[in-house]
Amino acid sequence: MRQPMSSPLDKAMWKFFSDSTVNKKRARLLAILWTLLIFFLCFLPASDVPKVNVPLMDKWVHFILFGVFSFLWLLSFRSFAIRDLFLIFLASVSLGWLVEFFQGVLTFLGRSRDNMDILADSIGGLLGVIVFYATHRLQKKK
């Protein structure tokens, strides 16, 4: 029985799971850029944030930002141990808390500290870790 052909996108994605130094450097660059994007978006003045009439949209944005954050940072590791999964999860929770802390302190931004954002960041970070681990295990079986 023949195996199905892989698409170019599929091949490109699996490259990041290889042990190639070049691919790990690219993944690290993506992780750094994503982290900077989080800071940029979370510290925009409230007046610059578009109003959207979607329930809990703010929480979904936090959830996605921090899920991708965890996934990309884990992808950038040359090799990883289970403790690294925990450390990246802890980093996403800490970054979420730090962002919210500064949003509460920097009142001139027109933003405020929101514990539900921290929860959304944490759940997103956890999901990013879980998706990475599951995807990594699938890739190792190939």
Confirm whether 105 is domain-assigned: yes
29 occurs within a structural domain: no
Domain for residue 95, yes or no? yes
Q: Is 56 left (phi over 0), alpha (psi -120 to 50) or beta?
A: left
pLDDT digits (tens, 9 = 90+) for 55-84: 788 899 999 999 999 999 999 988 888 899
Is 8 among the domain residues? Answer: no
Asked whether residue 121 is assigned to any structural domain, the reply reads: yes
Q: What is the extent of the structural domain holding 89?
A: 60-142
Residue 5 falls inside a structural domain:
no
10, part of any domain: no
In a domain, 47, yes or no: no
Q: What is the count of structural domains for the chain? A: 1
| pLDDT of res. 117 | 93
- CA 49 to mean position of chain CA atoms: 21
Yes or no: say if 81 and 140 are a contact pair by the CB < 8 Å rule. no
| pTM of this structure | 0.83
